[in-house]
Copies of this chain bind each other. A is one copy, B any other.
Amino acid sequence: MRVKISRKEHFNAAHRLHNPAWNDARNAAVFGKCNSPNFHGHNYEVIANVTGEIDPDSGFVIDMKVLKQLLKEEIIEPFDHLNLNLDVAEFKTLNPTAENMVVVIWKRLRNRLSSDLDLSVTLYETERNYVEYSGK
């Protein structure tokens, strides 16, 4: 009996989409308003979805307090109220599109979870734009 348990957290960050290998015209054409030079920002919602067996003693797949702490250490504290391009190591050389962000978040969480648990991550950039990655 494998159950998926999900925890949603949020962080607020600035970012800019830009490829330094392209000229300004191509950056503007591909990234549009998201290429605006002085950054813009979002209220990101991040969901960690963890699938595993229910522990018969606790009734938990994973202790929600543990999962919240993990999200706090790996995602919220490193990203919240910061500039993704300038303040977060991974995005100094990687464009912080939602797609690249969800892979970075997945890797940070995957490293901290036991191998018998499956993980997918959902990231909302806005209420209408979101991405999901499960390591495949």
Contact = CB atoms under 8 A, between A and B. Distances in A.
Interface of A: 1-10, 12-15, 17, 19, 21-22, 30-34, 36, 38-43, 54, 57-61, 63-65, 80-83, 86-87, 94-100, 102-103, 126-133, 136
A100 B54 contact: yes
Given A5-B131, A38-B82, 6 more contacts: A14-B38, A19-B57, A31-B58, A40-B80, A54-B100, A59-B100
Interface class of chain A by DSSP: mixed
A41 B61 CA distance: 21
A88 to B, nearest CB: 10
Contact of A98 (B5, B22, B127, B132): B5
